Amino acid sequence: MSEENTNKQMNDEQLSEEEVIAVVEDKECSSDCGCGHDHGHHHHHHDEVEREIDPAEKSLSDALSVSFGILKFVMVVLVVLYMCSGLFRVDPQDKAVRLIFGKIVGEPGKQVLEQGWYLNAPFPFGQYVSVPTDPQVVSMNSDFWYAFKAGDESKKPADLARPLKPEFDGSLITGDANLVHGRFEVTYKVRDFVKFIESIGIVETSALGDSKMARATEIMKQAVSTGIVHAVAETQADEYIVGRTNDDAAEMYAQRILDDLNSGLEIVNISNIKPQMPNSVYNAWEAVSNAENERGKQIEQARQERARILGETAGEAHSALYELVLGYQLALSANKQAEVDAFETKIDLALRTLEVRNANGVLLSIGGEVAANIKQAESYKTRVVEEIKSEANNFETLYEKYLENPVIFANRLRQETREAIFTSPDIETMYAIPGQLYLETNRDPEVTRRREEAQLKRQQMRVSEER
C-alpha cells in the first residue's frame, strides 16, 4: 500500500513538471515555429495553468506597486526632513553664525544672527554655533591665594598656622618687593562673535567643564593673571592691601593679550574682592588696620560733631559766617586795617539782619544759638531801655512833687519805703522784748518758699516777653 502511494506521488510530480515545461515551451514557440511540438496539446495545458496563475501574479503585482509607492513617499518625506534638519532657532540671550563645511558663511557684517529662526544646510554639510551675549563672570579664588585643604575654605589665613609654601600657594609680588595674596573677579563678554568663533569657539563636550564658554573662561583667566601680575608689580603693598590696586592697568595688559589672540573677547571689569597679607604679618597688619579703622571712625564722629555744633550755633549759614570770622582774624593778625574794617562791616550787617551770603552769592539765614542770643540781647536791650525810661519818668514826677513841698515829700517817701519793706515777702519780721537777747534762729521756710515762687514767676514772665 505504501509503495503504490509512493509511485502515484512520483507520477503526479512528473506530470506537474511536464505540464510546467509544456507551458514554458508553449510561451517560447508559436504554431509555425517548426519546432515539432504538438501545439494543440500545449495550448490546452497553457489555458489551464494560466487560469490558475493569473490571480496570484496580479496580487503580487498590486502589492509590489503599492509597496513601491509607499517607499517613494517615505523617501520623499525623508529627503524633505533631512533638508529641514538644518532649521535652527537663536535664543534671545544668544547670537549665532552659520557654518558650511566648517566655514562661516554670510556677507561681512551680516554673518552674526540675532534672535529668530534660520535655515542652514543639513548636517554634516552645515552647522551653526550659538554664543551667549550675557556678561560672563570668572572667579579667581585660588590663583593668588593659599592652597586650602578640604574643610579649611572658611578659615582665615592666619588660622592656618603655617608659612607660605610657594610650590602650593599662590601669591603676588608688589612694587616694593613684598608678598601679597588676593582673590579677583573678572567680568567679560564677547565683543566680536566672528573672531571669537574662529579663534576660540565654544565647548561642545564637558571636557573643560559644563559651560560651553569654558575654553574662553580658561583663556580669560590666563590673560587676566598676566595682567594682574604686571599691575601689582607697579603697586606698593600698603596701597594694595587697602584696595587701591591698579585694576585699570591689569585690564589694559590682559586686553592687549586677548586682542593679540584675535579672541573677540572684551574685559568689562576686574575687581580685587579680597586683598590679603601673608600669614607671617597678618596679625600685625590686622592690628594696624583696626587702629586705622578706629581712627577713621573717630575722625568721622568728630566731623559729625563739628557739623552738629556749627549747625546748632549758626544754622545753615555757619560755613559762610565762619569764613567771615576767619577772614577778620587773618586780617587782624596781618594788621590790615582796611580789610579789618571791611570784615567788621560785613559781620555787623550779617548779625543785624541775621542773613549772610556764601561764596556762591546765595543768601542764607543765620539760625541756631547765634540768632537766639542776638534776639535775646535785643529783647534785653529793649527791656532795660524801657525800665530806665520808666525810672526816669518816675524820677521826674517825684522831683516835681519834691519841689512843691520837700518836707511832706520826704515824710511820705519814708513812710512808703517803710511800708514796702515790711510788706515785702522777702522780709522776715521778728519781735523781741527790750533788753539784751541772744537768739539762734533759722530762716522761715514759708518765707523762703514764697520768695522762690516769686522769683520763678518773674523769670517765666521775662522769658515770655523775650519770646
pLDDT digits (tens, 9 = 90+) for 240-270: 888 887 888 899 999 999 999 999 899 999 9
Question: Are residue 93 and residue 198 in the same domain, yes or no?
Answer: no
Angle (nearest 5°) at CA 300 between 294 and 303? 145
Q: Are 92 and 115 a contacting pair, CB within 8 Å?
A: yes
**Does one domain contain both 306 and 328?**
yes
Residue 104 located in a structural domain: yes
432 found inside a domain? yes
Query: Last residue of some domain: 344, 366, 388?
Result: 366
Q: What percentage of the chain exceeds 70 in pLDDT?
A: 77
116 sits in the region (left: phi over 0; alpha: psi -120 to 50; else beta) called left
Which residue pairs, CB below 8 angstroms and at least 24 apart, start in 307-316? 311/368, 312/368, 312/369, 313/368, 313/369, 313/370, 314/366, 314/367, 314/368, 314/369, 314/370, 314/371, 315/364, 315/365, 315/366, 315/367, 315/368, 315/370, 315/371, 316/364, 316/365, 316/367
Question: How much is the average pLDDT of 118-126?
Answer: 71
Both 342 and 313 in one domain: the answer is yes
CATH number, position 189? 3.30.479.30
Residues 211 and 305 grouped into a single domain: no
Q: Per residue in 140-190, pLDDT tens?
A: 988 888 887 766 666 666 666 567 777 788 889 998 888 898 889 999 999
Residues 6+ apart with CB under 8 A from 261: 199, 200, 219, 223
Distance from C-alpha of 196 to C-alpha of 230, rounded to nearest angstrom: 25
Full residue range of the structural domain in which residue 403 is found: 370-466
Domain count of the chain?
A: 5
Do 72 and 92 have their domain in common? Answer: no
Same domain, 107 and 145: no
Higher local confidence (pLDDT), 129 or 68: 68
Residue 10 domain-assigned? no
Task: State how far the alpha carbon of 410 is from the alpha carbons of 234, 271, 399, 407, in Å.
Answer: 100, 97, 11, 5
Q: For position 15, what pLDDT does the model report?
A: 42
Q: What is the CA radius of gyration of the chain?
A: 58
**Domain contains 102:** yes
What integer pLDDT is reported at residue 31 of this predicted model?
43
C-alpha 111/C-alpha 198 separation (Å) is 12
In the chain, how long is the greatest CA-to-CA distance?
203
CB 114 within 8 A of CB 131: no
In terms of domains, do 258 and 154 share one?
yes
Residues 145 and 263 in one domain: yes
What is the pLDDT, as a whole number, of residue 28? 43
Whole-structure pTM value: 0.50
Burial of 310 (0-12, 13-18, 19+ CB in 10 A): middle
Band (pLDDT 50/70/90 cuts) for residue 121 is low
Look at residue 106 and tell me whether its pLDDT is greater than 80.
no
In a domain, 222, yes or no: yes
Higher pLDDT, 124 or 314: 314
Please report the pLDDT score of residue 60 as a whole number.
Answer: 77
The pLDDT of residue 162 is 66
Domain boundary among 246, 277, 308: 277
Do 141 and 273 fall within a single domain?
A: yes
* Local confidence band at 273 (pLDDT 50, 70, 90 cut-offs): confident
On whether residue 9 sits in a domain, the answer given is no
Residues 444 and 457 in one domain: yes
Say whether both 148 and 249 belong to one domain.
yes
Question: Contact 154/100 with Cβ under 8 angstroms?
Answer: no
285 within domain boundaries: no
Q: Is residue 35 very low, low, confident or very high in pLDDT (cuts 50, 70, 90)? A: very low
For residue 101, give every residue at least 6 positions away whose Cβ sits within 8 Å of its Cβ, in sequence order, or none.
Answer: 125, 126
Average pLDDT, the chain: 78
Least confident of 19-33, 34-48, 416-430: 19-33
In this prediction, residue 18 carries a pLDDT of 43
* 92/151 same-domain check: no
Q: Report yes or no on 283 lying in a domain.
A: no
CA distance 358 to 320: 5
Residue 358 has what pLDDT?
84
